[in-house]
Amino acid sequence: MEPKVEATELEYRSGICGLKPGDIGFDDIHGLISAPPPPPETSSSFTALLELPAPQAVELLVNSLEVADEFPAKPDIAHFPPPQIFPSNIALIDHASKFSSLPLADNSSENYSLLSVSSSKKLDIVKQEQMDSDSNPNGSSPAISDQILKSSKRKEREKKVKESNKKSKKVVQNESYEEGGEKLPYVYVRARRGQATDSHSLAERARREKINARMRLLQDMVPGCKKISGTAMVLDEIINHVQTLQSQVELLSMKLAAATPRFDFNPDTLLAAESGSLMDSSHPGMFTPSVWPEGQINGNSQQSQQLWHFDGLQPVWGGEENNSNFITPDNSFLSYDTSRNSAAASLHSSQ
Amino acid sequence: MPSIKTRFTYRFIRAVQKLNKNRGVSSSMKETYRRYHMIRVASYASMASAVGSKRAWSQAVLRKIRNHTLHRDLKKKCGIHALIRRRKVSENPRNNLNFHQENDLRKLVPGGEDMDFCRLLNETAHYIKCLRTQGLHPKTQLLER
């Protein structure tokens, strides 16, 4: 049994590596399994990888393959204990998948997706594999399904080995696996079925999700937006809302301008109402009631006229912005004003 | 740390006071219109300075006001940084389907021309929140007196 198992192991291995069987001598593998492996000077990086992780990981891999061989007709997956997840183990499989031209589990109709994205952060590595049972070209293959979950997404590189009938796309951009000891730079992202998984589309997908999240936030902010479906409508609503708010600001400032030609308001009470902090006012707070209604009435009539003219006055941010110095008059302002003035004056005089 | 609302109210009231001190008494149309403009700019400026430079839109507001004050002929839109940013944004291959609304939104939100869509949404959210406090509380209080 032993030699047969080992033979199949080696078959797997060489198949996995895509190397000639001569590269990895049988002795090497024996040595690797039993004892700490020798330094990988000449051999392929597969053995280099094997050297890095603990030998236990190698055993685990071996075990999984062994079980595959020994229990060919076992459909019950639950009995098989999921292998413990060592970072090294994942690195192994990663590396194996990198080099493999054959699928790792050599089952045809499976959906075995393994995506790894290397990242600079240390993340929890939990991997998910799913393998259906299928006939083995070698004639001995059960269903091994390990349930390893995915981790969060952090995209710098990604690598995917997908084995299925539909798509078998493999993008190998593996560079920093050697770092994997305790910390693994890989981040695994579960690829959804039928979706492309190269780096660009992943980035696209992440970006779209970000945008969708922000749109949802905006929907909550804008009243009456939650029922609307579709980005375009929601955006329209948002734009509408922003325009409404801006015109409100203008309206209020117009009212304020019209109503404050000459009254000194008392800021003490204003601020006291809000924050409880009193402000020193240089102007004594006094406005006679007589002034106020007059100013208000005047302001109202003026304001209604002015509103007709200032209808198109949206805050054009690049255009006729006025200074905030409150001292220097603006030439453009005056020129704008005179055109309005003539129309306004005619209206005013008609009243 | 006082909230944005109180900070804004503080500055706005102070600005309006200064305005009233400087300006004349006439309630002519011209004067009123000018005052309206000043008050509106004061409102946006005090809102932007209450927010600080953390947000792109407040930065853009303050920058525009300052530029308009100092160099009236030099529009910041033609600055080289803005040009580079805008070209980068327009050349973006990841263009949105809702192009029309996106453009409108960019025009509305100050400084919206130079950012990508994702950031634009961020800034819009914050902008809406601040516009609410700007339009509602202090001015209505002032007017009720």
pLDDT, one tens digit per residue, over A118-171 is 444 444 444 444 444 444 444 444 444 444 444 444 444 444 444 444 444 433
Look up residue A205 and give its two tokens: 């997908």
Residues of B in contact with A287 (CB under 8 A): 145
Contact criterion met (CB below 8 Å) for A26 and A37: no
Report ipTM for this prediction.
Answer: 0.87
> What pairs with residue A211 in β-bridges?
none
Tens of pLDDT, residue by residue over B43-95, are 888 888 888 888 888 888 888 888 877 766 555 556 677 777 777 777 765 56
Q: 0.95 exceeded by the pTM?
A: no
Residues of B in contact with A272 (CB under 8 A): none
Helices A199-221 & B117-144, crossing angle to 10 degrees? Answer: 10
For chains A and B, count residue pairs whose Cβ atoms are closer than 8 Å.
202
User: Does residue B50 sit at the A interface (CB-CB below 8 Å)?
Assistant: no
Residues of B in contact with A340 (CB under 8 A): 29, 33
A87 vs A168 pLDDT, higher one: A87
Tens of pLDDT, residue by residue over B23-48, are 666 667 888 888 888 888 888 888 88
Residue with tokens 């020129």: A335
**Cα–Cα dist A153/A140, whole Å:** 36
**Cα–Cα dist A147/A162, whole Å:** 16
Q: Which amino acid is residue A311, in one-letter code?
A: D
**Measured between CA atoms, how close is A174 to chain B, in angstroms?**
26
Task: Tell how far CA B142 is from the center of its chain.
Answer: 21
> In chain A, positions 242-271, which contact chain B (CB-CB < 8 Å)?
242-243, 245-246, 248-250, 252-262, 264-267, 270-271
Look up residue A284 and give its two tokens: 């004594």
User: Does residue A226 sit at the B interface (CB-CB below 8 Å)?
Assistant: no
Tell me whether residues B37 and A324 touch, CB distance under 8 A: no
User: Does residue B60 sit at the A interface (CB-CB below 8 Å)?
Assistant: yes
The helix (run of H) or strand (run of E) holding residue A160 is strand A157-163
Contact criterion met (CB below 8 Å) for B6 and A313: no
Four-CA torsion B8, B12, B13, B14, nearest 10 degrees = 110
A279-to-A49, A191, A207, A266, B47 alpha-carbon distances in Å: 71, 60, 47, 9, 19
Residues of A in contact with B102 (CB under 8 A): 235
> In chain B, positions 78-107, which contact chain A (CB-CB < 8 Å)?
94, 97-98, 101-102, 104-105, 107
Tell me whether residues B22 and A245 touch, CB distance under 8 A: no
**pLDDT tier at A266, thresholds 50, 70, 90:** low
Nearest residue to A317 via CA among B19, B79, B91, B75:
B75
**Measured between CA atoms, how close is A218 to chain B, in angstroms?**
6
Nearest residue to A165 via CA among A105, A235, A110:
A110
